[in-house]
Structure 1
């Protein structure tokens, strides 16, 4: 019998820093390293407990006076798209999605830079280099996949790797109870396609096909317009002090 004991994870606290979502607020985070043989198991447990993964770090907000950041997960089996979501699916019926090992490419980085320069020019990721992007994708000790979304071209259904133009990408963790959308980005010039919404809908479809009950969306920040879209995917649960709780839009989204 194997009686080897695994060391418990050590948790650390960041120094106070300006909150990127709520002006005038200060944020702190508690974090730990996701490495070793138990990284996948720990990622599952921590994500279910409200943590997010970034490279080999799992973190969650630990602000002293604010509880605006709330973990969100979609209930896959009960989800039904709204009329506007159905139209998003229809507008993107010409896309082909392919799933790969978590490996970066220059094509992905070019799209990533265009997305940042258009949507997050003053964000914390705005100065990321190609090496930073490679680390974001590759530095993982848990099951992680890259999903590329391309415009369908003739022959793409036969070729091993599609040749159509890359217009969206998702970095996704495969968990025991769902899919966790670590980061996604898309062509900012194709606003009419609503690619952010489409990728979430595609992840719901993928989770359902795999028999997984949840899609984890990270944090909904109450009071932040940038995060308001997350509450549109109903039904969903929010992680509150009493545990995962069914969220109703009338609760004040």
Structure 2
């Protein structure tokens, strides 16, 4: 990989975009095996790449540039009034736990989440092979941010851990607890973990302004978005 961009990349076929149905999606895929390590991947994150399973990719769509990478500046993060209210819903009956190993409880929770929340999406119906190939990675350090209610696991945030950042890969939770605003709670927990470890960034993936279900990513401030390969501050 040179200073700015990987030297070996591939281009996927075009396929229907899962976020903007009227658009066609196409991906740049990293082919250079030297890029597949936490250190090198962190450099690629700063260039707008992500990972899915073992594969590193970045959108390279023929007629759309709606996807913009977002990262939270963790040391400066201040919860909004709304976020503080959500966090305060968690009393002593709830506990955040950090795990470095997958638990048997994860897949049943994932299956319930996909079945009840995303039955109209590309990950339905869920199966164990899809779950593993999407979330896990042979070359990445993965931590699992868990939310427990007494002895019941209710949420898991799968999180990549690199020298100077964390990257939020996917969060799944028990839909019975939806009223807790679990998605926001888990992002705040990941921000807190990054700040505790002295890691200045939490990468949240792609923000798509035209997609309503993706807009939450710019609510955790201060943050930056990648626009034409330049990180710009997101205005409140």
Q: Could you tell me how far apart the structure 1 residues matched to 2:181 and 2:112 are?
A: 16
Query: Superposition RMSD on alpha carbons, in Å?
Result: 1.9
Which residue of 2 is the match for residue 21 of structure 1?
A: 19
> Quick one: structure 1 residues 193 and 234, their matched pair in 2 at CA, closer, same or farther if it must change by over 3 Å?
same
**Mean alpha-carbon deviation: is it higher for 31-40 or for 93-102?**
31-40
Which residue of 1 is the match for residue 228 of structure 2?
A: 241
Q: Secondary structure at the match of 1:190?
A: helix
**Cα deviations by residue, 1:152-200 (Å, 9 ceiling, x for unpaired):** 3xxxxxxxxxxx1010001101122211001111111212100000000
Which residue of 1 is the match for residue 198 of structure 2?
A: 211
Counterpart pick for 1:188 among 169, 175, 192:
175
Counterpart pick for 2:217 among 230, 235, 238:
230
Q: Radius of gyration: which is bigger?
A: 1
TM-score by length of 2: 0.90
Q: How many residues align?
A: 230
Unmatched tracts of structure 1, length 5 or more = 1-7, 153-163
Q: Could you tell me how far apart the structure 1 residues matched to 2:8 and 2:170 are?
A: 25
**Contact kept? 2:145, 2:157, Cα under 8 Å:** yes
**Mean alpha-carbon deviation: is it higher for 9-18 or for 66-75?**
9-18
Which residue of 1 is the match for residue 97 of structure 2?
A: 98
Post-superposition offset of 1:137:
4.0
Which residue of 2 is the match for residue 155 of structure 1?
A: none
Which residue of 1 is the match for residue 10 of structure 2?
A: 12
Report runs of 4+ in structure 1 exceeding 4 Å deviation.
Answer: 33-38
> Quick one: structure 1 residues 30 and 104, their matched pair in 2 at CA, closer, same or farther if it must change by over 3 Å?
farther
Q: Could you tell me how far apart the structure 2 residues matched to 1:37 and 1:23 are?
A: 31
Counterpart pick for 1:83 among 81, 84, 88:
81
Q: Secondary structure at the match of 2:106?
A: helix
> Quick one: structure 1 residues 143 and 33, their matched pair in 2 at CA, closer, same or farther if it must change by over 3 Å?
farther
> Quick one: structure 1 residues 124 and 9, their matched pair in 2 at CA, closer, same or farther if it must change by over 3 Å?
farther
**Mean alpha-carbon deviation: is it higher for 108-117 or for 31-40?**
31-40
